[in-house]
Structure 1
Amino acid sequence: MKTFLQQVAQKLVKDHENSLESVTVIFPNRRAGLFFRENIKKQISSPIWSPRILSFQDFIAYQSSSQIADKLFLTHRLFEVYTKIMKTGEGFDRFYYWGQMLLKDFDDIDKYLVNPENLYTNLSRQKQLDLTFDFLQPEQKEIIQRFWQGFDKTKSEEKERFEFVWDRLYKVYANFQKSLKDENLAYEGMQYRYVADNVDKLNLRNIDGPVVFAGFNALNLAEEKIISWFIKNRQASIVWDLDDYYMRNGHQEAGHFLRTYKETNTFASSFPKENPQYLEGEEKQINIIGVPQHVGQAKVVGQKLGELLRDNPEFDLRKIAVVLADEALLFPVLHSLPEEVEAINVTMGFPLAYAPVNSLIEHILDLQKSIRKDPDGHVLYNFKPVLAIIKHPMIMPHNPEGLERLAEDIIKNNKVFLTNADLIGEPVIKSIFKPAEENLITYLSEVLLALHRLSEREENTVEIEYIHHFYQILNRYSELLQAVGQKTDLASFSRLFKQLVRTERLPFTGEPLKGLQIMGVLETRNLDFEYVFVLSMNEDFFPSQGGKHSFVPYNLRKAYGLPNYDQQDAIYAYLFYRLLQRPKNIELYYNTEGNDLGGEEMSRFLQQLIHESNLDINMQVLANYAEVDDTRVIAIEKDDLVMQSLSRFLETAQHPPLKRLSPSALNTYLDCRLMFYFRYVADLYEQDDMDEDVDARSLGNVLHYAMEVLYLDYLSEVGDGPVIEKADIKNLKKRIDDAAVKAFRQQFAVSAERKFYFEGKNIIAKEIIKDFMKSILKLDEQYVPFEFIGAEQKYELDFEIDHDISGESTPIKVGLRGTIDRLDKKNGKVRLIDYKTGQDKHLFESIEELFDRKKKNKAAFQTFYYALLYQYKKEPTDLMVPAVFNKDALFLGEDVMLKHKTMGMVDNAAIFLDEYTTQLKALIGEIFDLSTPFNQTDDEAKCKFCAYSGICERG
């Protein structure tokens, strides 16, 4: 089948074979003209001069004496005019969004030749409607009257303010245009209106002979007026690209504009007597395929392309188009292309907001916002933007090992605030990690240049294009600020730059007439292919929901003939059906899942195709169906591999245990055997989280270290031995603040030469820690005199148990370890103290209860565990007294000692240790028992905050 451009080329050669050089062919866009030139070559056999081939936009620019100003300049000029007339103090960064809307409205007003004064006049009174708008049709007047119904009644403050804005908007429009004309500048709509209003007076440049308009569908009023003049006065011709399917049926919105033009005297003769029947008259293979997730569509298309090209190795890639309704799919598609695709041409503007360099710049701006100085003048960087920057895909690959070590060090040591001394000296790192201060644009320029040099070194051409485009935007903004003598602060620049980037598109460079064609929906106009793959055929993507914001309400847009929702949908309907007219093979993909906000709905155009056409359509939904059990049972049997991992806890003839069980590990086993397996056998440790503030989890760590520092630093200074008297407690109270600061410094890895900077929740956390410390010293003051034995004492034990292997009992030694928070001694009693910031209970019913998965007391279990380690290590003659300094003991006056339900206060742990040892041997024996798998807990409440709940699908 002949493509539309082939048909136009054949008609042109037939009608003007001997005078092609005098003909001007005008298309809706440049892309069609480029492909048309290739088709002309195929229609001629000898060298001749080519016809002049233009896009309508280029044709208008030729006939206008003004120059199109760039969008940033236009928006800023509009901002200057707007603020002067409205007398507002709004900044440019906040105006930018509204300025874009106003510019779009002005552009529409001019392209559709609307009288701006009438449009922006107060329409509240019927008299004004009758006198000022007598040119309107009755139905148009009715639409406007309905919109303004009730405005003759009492005016609300909102209505008056709305009328005020409309009155002033015409002044803004007029003064804005005047300021541009004074400098011989314009926006696109201004040029269109100028040519349309003066087409009969202009000395048309480069238009000497016949003119052919080809491939137009929805004309704005300026285009319609210009084309009509050429047809009437210059015998121009127009070639429509249409199909009988939507032309004959008045309900098909795809033919809305073409049917309207066919009814006009000017255009009627240009339509064929019989409409071509490409859509229904030619055999086609149409597949509608539902695929989960957006990226899934890219993967499936890549597979289909691979199959097609493997089956047809000589197939011309130029005859295949991949059309992306969602531009964000460009890179997923590029990464999914099979190796058989040797050349591609991207015919679409890629939103710069999706480029990796954009996210990097956002992280850099966040870094600058978070910069502060401590009281000593050191520059401090918050860890969040630091980690985001060094892990960014544009930074990390340049020094993966060094930057990975840096990231690990920040997380492991909880370095919330970092200085330049903490950061690696890579050139790009040096350019990023410094305060921008007043030179924000210069700073960002240096960063982009450093990134550009790195990308050049790596020969990453795509990255270079991103960076170059960003650099251009930055420079253009800098020039604009210099021209108007303005400065910008970090907050306003960040807001504005995000908006600038959101509206920018990156034009890809390449050879358009070679390779697989990847394009956006609008780029398909006038082009035909043999194979077409269309992705994201979902509502909100096809038809597109973009570009519908306007100051002019829908009713007025409709009354004045300005583009509105209905017209936008009609345009997309035409693009959709035109895309299907000539291809033999069509694959239409839609996302079946969407997201939390929806998005899985199939496009209305697919629904129309399915239910209204008589086409043979093959429908598929790709999915992995799986029956989901209500409860997923996971049990890890103790095979050779598992037992080999467990053997690291055992003593051997060659070496002591490589790993040792802590009381926390054993409590984990009692909570959930499977959690114990993940964490201590399979070594699936939870990822370290950074704590910007001390939370409940880390509060205990800070308290432990603060008390260790408090006593050990004091004792090392006084040098009078470990006996603590009342006077010592008095001195210790004076050192509480310093000890707390040291503990916070250690928690957040702040070096000794830097002063710790308290802020936010940490101010409160510091006071909480100090309250705990004061309460502990208050108890100590009541307990003096006592001998301070040590703090954070580490003990290890090779614990022997009987292990049953194949029915035979064999002794094995399992490594145990523990750290006792504090040890003190008085009157022949050694207290083994555990600091707790929670409400751990002192009361327990029995030793057996400590090993009960439902009733267990973690604090009692842990302190008896410490007593066992201490007894084996020290063989003490003194009594061992387990004690828990928890919130109840510190603030409510509860005794610190453990309390047995029937036997009372535990002032000698030794009497319980035999039973405790028996229970502990049974527990550890179960861990190494081959017949007991590592399975899930029955108490699913424990799964709520488990780090491994995603694996179990619980919680």
Structure 2
Amino acid sequence: MTTFIHEVLQTLKANKEIIANLTFVLPSKRAGVFLKNNIPHVYQQTVFSPEILSIEEFTSNLSQLKPISNVELLFEFYTVYKELTKPSEQDSFESFSKWAQVIIQDFNEIDRYLIPQEDILNYLSAIQDINHWSQQENKSDFIKKYLAFWNKLLEYYNHFTETLIHKGIGYQGLIYREAVNNIESYIQTNTDKKLVFLGFNALNKAEETIIQELLQNELAEIYWDIETSYLNNPLHDAGLFVKQYKQNWSYFKANPFNWVSNNYTQEKEISVYGVPKNVGQAKQIGSILNTLISNRGNLDKTAIVLGDEGLLLPVLNSLPSTVNALNITMGLPLSSVPLATLFERLFYLHKDSNSNYYYKDIIAILSHQNISPLFEINPKTKITEIVNTIQQNNLVYLNTAQLKELSEPFTEIIEVLFGTWDNEANKALKQTKKLIFLIKNNLDNKKYDNLLHLEYLYRFNELFNELSRLHATYPHLKNVQTLFEVYKNLLSSETLDFKGEPLQGLQVMGMLESRVLDFETVIISSVNEGVLPSGKSNNSFIPFDVKLQYNLPTYKEKDAVYSYHFYRLIQRAKQVHILYNTEADVLNGGEKSRLITQLELEGIHTITHKLVLPDVSLSKPTLHHIYKTPNVLERLKDIANKGFSPSSLTNYIRNPIDFYNQKVLKIGEYDEVEETIAANTLGNVIHNTLEDFYKPLEGKQLTVDHVKHMKTLVDTTVTNHFKAFYKQGDITKGKNLIVYEIAKRYINNFLNLEIEELQNGNKINIVAIESENKVLIDLKELDFPVYLTGKVDRVDQYNGITRIIDYKTGKVLQNQVEVIDWEDLTTDYAKYSKSFQVLCYAYAMFKDRKVNLPLEAGVISFKNLSSGFLKFAKKESTYDRNKNTLIYNDTLQFFETELKKLILEICNLEMDFVEKEIE
């Protein structure tokens, strides 16, 4: 394959051009590297290198203006805006920046295409007047201000451009317009120079004017890279611009048009892959590269061109390990570096002048990979201690003083992170710079392990230095929110550049970096509508019809640009792999691109289509299987000696692995901050409140006066218990206040039910409250003692019948405390766990000789209080209405049989802990 650059150099050599006297002007700097590399291959002797410039460098030299960043342009424009606008009508910089960027972009287009500024800006003003409010006799102040803004556009433009030219700086369009103004002077003073333009396609009016003037004065040559197949096709967008130049430029009426080639029609191997999602495309690229390496042994003259540059990291992570030479033309966006999330969190934390910070924001910052090492003490970290304290005390909001108290001896770091910024940009910049140096000092301790992190930090230091410079130069950064907007603007344009060999091995680049370059094998990703081409995006105040009238580019021209780049990549390639996302995504492109369909309809090449799907064969999940070792048995002996509780046994019934984790391994549940009062906290408060009320009445008969007195204590008792369990959590507002009121309502409703029972003539004697039991279970099969423990919420005598009562704050129905087959008690958790628990309490209390038979056991459900006391019942069948609610000796014997079977299963070394499938 002979590349376009190589062909141009051969032609210049054949024409006896002295290359050292030439100046090459290219669409991009990247192409200059390949041009310089090709010179020795063509001339094969020692020569002086020619001057090689990008078009931006050439026009900047011609205009004597230096390009500046978009952010600095905004600051310059805001200075002009404030000078021309009454203080009472001025927008803040934050509001200004939202519309000013679009205005600057429109100024840029107007200048690039050499549109008379006065004509188009006055025209826009007149359109606004006609379209909106010219028919209204009495215009509101808002309408007057709106129209005044449009009327001032020309004044803004004139002052803005004059200010920039005076300072020797400019945006791209202004640089181009000034370059056109200076072209005559350049021609007169550079008669001995010769320029070579190559690889251009879509030229703006300024570029056209400059190049034509130089051609007419025989100071330049231009070499196009265009194909016969789309130059001669009036409907083919890839040749849209070059066709116009060939037809309209007077230079080509007397001079040859270089060049039109037929590379595109030569035989090519084109494969199109439909792949779901972006990660799928990245993995498929890795698979294609593996095949190429297997067939060729290297990836020279191979390029990956990313239609969506957001695919860079997934593609890099998917490259085969056998890729030994790699060059990445595009930079890694600084916004994707881990440090970016840290500074973003800090800005969000401080952009409001709140002195209290939300605990999740605090934990996220303290746990960040660049912050947590700052709190290390020997091998431990203080962060764990701080987080535990926050969680245990339900500290939803904390201030800096509280954090310092929790963080001794790291108060300096806490001050840097959480010391208030007072909504001042200057203070925010000082604090962020302090933080950067704190992190740097920590990374320097293990410098060679942290080189990449130090590079990240250095780039952020540069970014904040630039913010500090802008803040010192322009007095527009008044608050943290404005600083944050400027920070985000700067961050979006900053990249980390990769180092690589630009002329060897695999090349990874974006679509624009591929200009003028040729590769034998090309892999193009994200060839979807909305990506390639980008579609009808319109970030402009200039209406579509006005753009047409003044020959400004519209989405039609933008589509043609993408079409040209796409076809130019293919025209000299021998092997082409095109990937598109099969999953329609409104934000990131829809169906496959029209460019793929166009390739198919042309019928020039045979195209192989492949639909690539990930292997999603479902494998049956493997259930955990824990063998009972002698160590496990020793732990079970300890548990048995302390006593199996009803809840631990039902936990085993539900899933043996949960029992193993919680009881054998002693893995507790993760203790989170309760922003909203949890169900277990609500239950504990209700249980403890009722214990306070009824404990003093043990051994006494309950009276209406007793209960009425309890009602007067509900508020204070519930509040005290919430404070004990919920620590420093706030129960005075929001959902917590609702839960607090629900707790009081539950207790009052329960006490009302008690009063009703007593007023109906029922006698209630309180036997025991929160009665703790521990009884030995006679298991001859085991050589160690086994106990059953349990705390019973309430035991009373109701009209002479002993009742064992378990309080439940959740909803329980009567059928959940009924059993048909005894064997079901230890197999079906969902249906029979409540029955199992109350029978455990009855069994333990009877064995402990605290109650006599017969008795009743059951549940009082606070969410189902209208059903009263839900008694355990034994039924013969589902439809049996003759429920036996009294518990006799035979009832407990049947239960004991099932209980012993369950405990023997738990303690049997031959029966492993096997996970249950939870539906």
Normalised TM-score (structure 1): 0.78
Matches within 5 A, 1:174-323: 174-202=158-186, 208-268=192-252, 272=257, 275-281=260-266, 283-313=267-297, 315=298, 317-323=299-305
Query: Displacement, 1:225?
Result: 0.3
Task: Provide the residue aligned with 2:838 in structure 1.
Answer: 863
Task: Provide the residue aligned with 1:377 in structure 2.
Answer: none
Cα distance change, pair 111–732 in 1 and its aligned pair in 2 (3 A): closer
- Deviation digits for residues 830-885 of structure 1 (CA, Å, limit 9, x no counterpart): 76443333332357784328958699476555333333344445654598654544
- Deviation digits for residues 676-729 of structure 1 (CA, Å, limit 9, x no counterpart): 36645799999858455325xx233333156438857999xx999999977788
- Deviation digits for residues 612-640 of structure 1 (CA, Å, limit 9, x no counterpart): 23112222222247788xxx99896xxxx
Query: Displacement, 1:662?
Result: 6.3
Task: Provide the residue aligned with 1:572 in structure 2.
Answer: 562
Query: Displacement, 1:208?
Result: 4.1
Query: Displacement, 1:520?
Result: 0.5
Query: Displacement, 1:393?
Result: 5.3
For 1:528, what is the secondary structure of its paired residue? Answer: coil
Task: Provide the residue aligned with 1:953 in structure 2.
Answer: none
Question: Do the aligned partners of 1:648 and 1:658 also contact (CA within 8 Å) in 2?
Answer: no
Which residue among 714, 739, 748 is the counterpart of 2:721? Answer: 739
For 2:323, what is the secondary structure of its paired residue? Answer: coil
Q: Which amino acid aligns with 1:898?
A: K
For 2:304, what is the secondary structure of its paired residue? Answer: strand
Question: Do the aligned partners of 1:534 and 1:589 also contact (CA within 8 Å) in 2?
Answer: yes
Aligned mates of 2:622, 2:168 — CA distance in 1: 78
Query: Displacement, 1:800?
Result: 5.6
Query: Displacement, 1:926?
Result: 9.8
Tell whether 2:706 aligns with 1:701: no
Q: Which amino acid aligns with 1:449?
A: F
Cα distance change, pair 368–597 in 1 and its aligned pair in 2 (3 A): same
Q: Which amino acid aligns with 1:189?
A: G
Query: Displacement, 1:788?
Result: 8.6
Cα distance change, pair 365–264 in 1 and its aligned pair in 2 (3 A): same
Matches within 5 A, 1:614-763: 614-624=604-614, 642=625, 644=627, 676=655, 679-680=658-659, 688=670, 690=672, 692-694=674-676, 698-705=678-685, 707-708=687-688, 734-745=716-727, 760-763=734-737
Question: Do the aligned partners of 1:390 and 1:403 also contact (CA within 8 Å) in 2?
Answer: no
Question: Do the aligned partners of 1:32 and 1:526 also contact (CA within 8 Å) in 2?
Answer: yes
Aligned mates of 1:15, 1:226 — CA distance in 2: 24
Aligned mates of 1:730, 1:98 — CA distance in 2: 63
Comparing 568-577 with 168-177, greater Cα deviation is found at 168-177
Q: Which amino acid aligns with 1:69?
A: I
Aligned mates of 1:359, 1:484 — CA distance in 2: 27
Task: Provide the residue aligned with 1:550 in structure 2.
Answer: 540
Matches within 5 A, 1:804-883: 820=791, 822-823=793-794, 832-841=804-813, 846-848=818-820, 851=824, 856=831, 859-872=834-847, 876-877=851-852, 882=857
Query: Displacement, 1:119?
Result: 1.6
Question: Do the aligned partners of 1:703 and 1:773 also contact (CA within 8 Å) in 2?
Answer: no
Query: Displacement, 1:5?
Result: 1.1
Aligned mates of 2:456, 2:636 — CA distance in 1: 62
Aligned mates of 1:54, 1:720 — CA distance in 2: 97
Task: Provide the residue aligned with 2:36 in structure 1.
Answer: 37
Task: Provide the residue aligned with 1:443 in structure 2.
Answer: 431
Task: Provide the residue aligned with 2:105 in structure 1.
Answer: 104
Query: Displacement, 1:37?
Result: 1.1
Q: Which amino acid aligns with 1:767?
A: E
Aligned mates of 1:82, 1:721 — CA distance in 2: 86
Matches within 5 A, 1:421-570: 422=406, 430=414, 433-438=417-422, 439-454=427-442, 457=447, 459-486=449-476, 488-545=478-535, 548-570=538-560
Q: Which amino acid aligns with 2:808?
A: K
Cα distance change, pair 294–201 in 1 and its aligned pair in 2 (3 A): same
Query: Displacement, 1:644?
Result: 3.3
Aligned mates of 2:36, 2:830 — CA distance in 1: 84
Aligned mates of 2:642, 2:9 — CA distance in 1: 80
Q: Which amino acid aligns with 1:256?
A: L
Aligned mates of 2:766, 2:512 — CA distance in 1: 84
Which residue among 719, 738, 756 is the counterpart of 1:764? Answer: 738
Aligned mates of 2:753, 2:630 — CA distance in 1: 44
Aligned mates of 1:295, 1:401 — CA distance in 2: 37
Query: Displacement, 1:211?
Result: 1.2
Task: Provide the residue aligned with 1:913 in structure 2.
Answer: 892
Q: Which amino acid aligns with 1:252?
A: H
Aligned mates of 1:895, 1:312 — CA distance in 2: 82
Cα distance change, pair 643–740 in 1 and its aligned pair in 2 (3 A): closer
Question: Do the aligned partners of 1:113 and 1:221 also contact (CA within 8 Å) in 2?
Answer: yes
Q: Which amino acid aligns with 2:627?
A: Q
Cα distance change, pair 159–440 in 1 and its aligned pair in 2 (3 A): closer
Task: Provide the residue aligned with 1:807 in structure 2.
Answer: none
Query: Displacement, 1:388?
Result: 3.3
Q: Which amino acid aligns with 2:290?
A: G
Query: Displacement, 1:44?
Result: 2.8
Cα distance change, pair 846–882 in 1 and its aligned pair in 2 (3 A): closer
Query: Displacement, 1:423?
Result: 5.7
Tell whether 2:21 aligns with 1:22: yes
Question: Do the aligned partners of 2:112 and 2:176 also contact (CA within 8 Å) in 1?
Answer: yes
Cα distance change, pair 598–272 in 1 and its aligned pair in 2 (3 A): closer
Task: Provide the residue aligned with 2:364 in structure 1.
Answer: 388
Cα distance change, pair 220–383 in 1 and its aligned pair in 2 (3 A): same
Cα distance change, pair 209–889 in 1 and its aligned pair in 2 (3 A): closer
Q: Which amino acid aligns with 1:15?
A: N
Cα distance change, pair 662–686 in 1 and its aligned pair in 2 (3 A): same
Aligned mates of 1:722, 1:495 — CA distance in 2: 71
Query: Displacement, 1:503?
Result: 4.3
For 1:287, what is the secondary structure of its paired residue? Answer: strand
Cα distance change, pair 567–421 in 1 and its aligned pair in 2 (3 A): same
Query: Percent identity over the alignment?
Result: 28
For 2:102, what is the secondary structure of its paired residue? Answer: helix
Aligned mates of 1:669, 1:596 — CA distance in 2: 48
Query: Displacement, 1:394?
Result: 5.0
For 1:321, what is the secondary structure of its paired residue? Answer: strand
Q: Which amino acid aligns with 2:43?
A: I
For 2:820, what is the secondary structure of its paired residue? Answer: helix
Question: Do the aligned partners of 1:370 and 1:381 also contact (CA within 8 Å) in 2?
Answer: no
Query: Displacement, 1:114?
Result: 1.1
Task: Provide the residue aligned with 2:3 in structure 1.
Answer: 3
Query: Displacement, 1:730?
Result: 5.7
Query: Displacement, 1:171?
Result: 2.7
Tell whether 2:326 aligns with 1:344: yes
Cα distance change, pair 653–821 in 1 and its aligned pair in 2 (3 A): closer
Task: Provide the residue aligned with 1:140 in structure 2.
Answer: none
Question: Do the aligned partners of 2:641 and 2:787 also contact (CA within 8 Å) in 1?
Answer: no
Aligned mates of 2:870, 2:219 — CA distance in 1: 107
Which residue among 310, 315, 324 is the counterpart of 1:328? Answer: 310
Question: Do the aligned partners of 2:801 and 2:855 also contact (CA within 8 Å) in 1?
Answer: yes
Query: Displacement, 1:220?
Result: 0.3
Normalised TM-score (structure 2): 0.81
- Deviation digits for residues 48-89 of structure 1 (CA, Å, limit 9, x no counterpart): 322111111111111223332322121122234346656545
Query: Displacement, 1:27?
Result: 0.7
